[in-house]
Amino acid sequence: MVDQTKENILQRLLSSDVKADLLVLFHKNPGLIDTMEGIARRIGRVTSAVEAEIRDLVAMGLLKVKFIGAAQVYALDKVRDKHVLDEAANHIKSIQ
């Protein structure tokens, strides 16, 4: 039987090209701390194209938010990221 929660996580992770690019960016650069605008620039996009996807990654707990002065910045939550990816990998194995 398919675990609906894990299935949802997997679907959210794979829901768009932009999200995939963001995940690759943060996994290749786990020490990245930047604003939404800075992150968008790093994957060759504009802020409006990444805004919703970054917010979803924050909602999933993969990215954490903090403030530097007035600037809102995003960084990979390494512990939560490992947990979510482990769950996704286990789920894929279970449905194979």
Partner 1 sequence: MSRLKTGITEFDEMLHGGFLEGDAVMVAGAAGSGKTTLALQYLVNGATKFGQNGIYVTFEQMPDQIYRDAESFGWDLKRLEQEGKFQLICTSPDLLVNKNGAEELLGDPIRELNPKRMVIDSVSHLQMFVPEGDVRREVYRLVMFLKTKGISSMLLWENPQMLGSSYSITDVGLSFMVDAIVALRAVEIESSMRRALGILKMRGSDHDKHLREYEITPHGIRVDQPFSQYEGLMSGSPRKVAGEKFVDMFRSVSEKKKSAVG
Spatial separation of the C-alpha atoms in residues 76 and 63, rounded to whole Å: 5
Contact (CB, 8 A) for 68 and 24: no
d(CA 12, CA 92): 14
Residue 74's H or E segment, with its range, is strand 71-76
Closest to partner 1 by CB, 1 or 67: 67
When the beta carbons of 6 and 64 are compared against partner 1, the nearer one is 64
Q: How far is the CB of 49 from partner 1 (least distance, A)?
A: 17
Residues between 7 and 66 that touch partner 1 (CB under 8 A): 28-35, 38, 41-42, 66
Binding mask 66-95 for partner 1 (x = CB under 8 A): xxxxxx-x----------------------
Contact between 47 and 39 under an 8 Å Cβ cutoff? The reply is no
**What does the binding site for partner 1 look like in residue numbers (CB under 8 A)?**
28-35, 38, 41-42, 66-71, 73
